[in-house]
């Protein structure tokens, strides 16, 4: 290998962590907004890592035992075993501390006719969950900024009446993000790593510009939205014309996911 080839290879390898970090930032922002704390995110990531390694090993016809998964992922075999066997029950569907605070607030408010909680009680609930590792004042500030509670006086708060709907909307959006992100990465993975000729290559196409002034973004966004709606109708018609009269999930999914993006909107958040 020539020196130039070595330099280029090293540059590509060195850029991978930076590119990965850049790709993960929007994911991390969303995870933080959903209230998932770092340790819980890591536990979920460990599960995903194990599941991904199992799929790769199975496809290569290699027994996905603890040793094979450990070699593939670099994870400790004991950690893998805990996840696979659910030895540590807290690994299963963990509830983050903020969710626990909200749940306790809902229980408290439901049992009090005036629907008001005083500062002392609110601090008591927070301290019982966070064990004073984080000051209650900081948590109250977070609850207020997310409009989960409303301050009605210096020492009294009310639970936001629209909280339930907000949580439902967030969960519905989270489900859509889950499906969309999964499909997106499946397409990238298939096109990057599947053997040529093994399957149909999936189309990936991005249309963008960094030469449009922000004052024109809304106009462009509206025009693109209309085009996407027209395209969706045509694609749904094509899909429907090939469907058999069978129950949902009879066969693997096939289709298209379309979405718009605007990096200037992302920079504000």
- What are the extents of the domains in the chain? 3-91, 97-161, 165-240
Which candidate, 147, 111, 107, places its Cα nearest to that of 128? Answer: 107
Using one digit for the tens of pLDDT, what is the confidence trace for 188-225? Answer: 777 777 766 556 677 878 899 999 999 999 999 999 99
Q: Which residues of 82-100 are buried (b: 16+ CB within 10 A; e: fewer)?
A: bbeeeeeeebeeeeebbbe
First to last CA, the chain: 45
Classify domain 97-161 at the CATH topology level: Arc Repressor Mutant, subunit A (1.10.10)
Q: Which residue has the tokens 């993960």?
A: 24
Q: Please, how many CA atoms are within 13 Å of residue 213, restricted to the half-sphere of its CB?
A: 2
Cα–Cα distance for residue pair 145/162, rounded to 1 Å: 15
Burial of 139 per CB tally in 10 Å (0-12, 13-18, 19+): buried
Please answer whether residues 88 and 72 qualify as being in contact, where contact means their C-beta atoms are separated by less than 8 angstroms: no
Length, in residues, of the chain: 269
Residue 237 — very low, low, confident or very high, per pLDDT cuts 50/70/90?
very high
Please answer whether residues 258 and 232 qualify as being in contact, where contact means their C-beta atoms are separated by less than 8 angstroms: yes
258-265: Cβ within 8 A, 24+ apart: 258/228, 258/231, 258/232, 259/180, 260/221, 260/224, 260/225, 260/228, 261/208, 262/217, 262/221, 264/214, 264/217
pTM exceeds 0.85: no
Looking at the predicted structure, is the pLDDT value of residue 162 above 70? no
What pLDDT score does 12 carry? 47
**Taking residues 170-178, what's their average pLDDT?**
64
Please answer whether residues 47 and 21 qualify as being in contact, where contact means their C-beta atoms are separated by less than 8 angstroms: no
Cα–Cα distance for residue pair 194/176, rounded to 1 Å: 26
Using one digit for the tens of pLDDT, what is the confidence trace for 31-82? Answer: 777 667 787 788 888 988 999 999 999 988 999 999 999 999 999 999 899 8
């Amino acid at each position: 290998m020539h020196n130039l080839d070595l330099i280029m290879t090293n540059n590509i390898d060195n850029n991978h962590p930076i590119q990965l970090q850049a790709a993960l930032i929007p994911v991390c922002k969303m995870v933080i907004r959903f209230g998932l704390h770092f340790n819980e995110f890591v536990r979920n990531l460990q599960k995903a890592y194990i599941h991904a390694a199992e799929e790769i090993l199975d496809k290569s016809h290699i027994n996905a035992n603890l040793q094979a998964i450990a070699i593939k992922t670099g994870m400790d075999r004991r950690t893998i075993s805990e996840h696979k066997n659910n030895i540590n029950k807290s690994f299963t569907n963990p509830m983050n501390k903020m969710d626990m605070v909200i749940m306790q607030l809902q229980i408290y408010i439901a049992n009090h006719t005036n629907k008001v909680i005083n500062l002392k009680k609110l601090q008591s609930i927070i301290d019982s969950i966070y064990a004073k590792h984080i000051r209650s004042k900081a948590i109250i500030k977070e609850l207020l900024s997310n409009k989960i509670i409303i301050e009605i006086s210096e020492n009294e708060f009310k639970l936001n009446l629209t909280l339930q709907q907000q949580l439902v909307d967030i969960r519905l959006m989270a489900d859509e993000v889950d499906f969309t992100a999964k499909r997106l990465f499946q397409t990238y993975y298939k096109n990057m790593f599947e053997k040529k000729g093994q399957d149909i290559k999936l189309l990936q196409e991005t249309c963008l510009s960094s030469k449009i002034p922000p004052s024109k973004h809304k106009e462009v966004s509206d025009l693109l939205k209309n085009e996407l709606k027209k395209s969706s109708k045509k694609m749904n018609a094509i899909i429907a014309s090939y469907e058999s009269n069978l129950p949902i999930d009879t066969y693997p999914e096939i289709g298209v996911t379309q979405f718009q993006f605007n990096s200037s909107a992302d920079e504000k958040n």
